[in-house]
């Protein structure tokens, strides 16, 4: 984006009021040329956020249905939200599945996911007992 956000007179007025003038952030140059960062798709289900590499298809994969069962949530309440939700969300309730293939996440990712869930859900059980 090469256009300025504010005209010169607007910048002067903002400075006189002591208001900081925002600028568009320029993307970091990458060594391989202009490669955009990988897009992520963020979904909320109950009090969990799922960060996925691709949109979740209407026909849910079995591993995703299993995940909903373990979380004790109804997968029909799944809602896509802005990726900025992650910044405001409790970090233990964010499941970053961006390395997963939609149909079959690899064994290492599954193991890490289940271990994380076991810790979080065990801590929840202790707090609620």
Number of Cβ within a 10 Å radius of residue 44: 16
pLDDT score of 122: 83
Domain edges within the chain: 41-127
| Helix, strand, coil percent values for the chain (each to nearest 5) | 40, 15, 45
What pTM did the predictor assign?
Answer: 0.58
pLDDT score of 39: 67
Per-residue pLDDT at 2 exceeds 60: no
Confidence of residue 23 (pLDDT cuts 50, 70, 90): low
CB 93 within 8 A of CB 49: yes
């Amino acid at each position: 984006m090469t256009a300025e956000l504010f005209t010169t007179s607007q910048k002067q007025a903002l400075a006189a009021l002591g208001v900081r003038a925002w600028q568009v952030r320029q993307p970091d140059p990458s060594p391989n040329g202009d490669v955009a960062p990988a897009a992520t798709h963020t979904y909320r289900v109950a009090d969990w956020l799922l960060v996925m590499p691709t949109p979740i298809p209407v026909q849910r994969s079995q591993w995703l249905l299993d995940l909903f069962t373990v979380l004790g949530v109804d997968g029909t309440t799944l809602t896509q939200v802005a990726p900025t939700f992650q910044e405001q969300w409790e970090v233990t309730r964010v499941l970053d599945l961006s390395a997963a293939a939609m149909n079959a996440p690899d064994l290492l990712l599954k193991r890490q996911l289940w271990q994380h869930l076991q810790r979080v859900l065990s801590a929840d059980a202790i707090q609620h007992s």
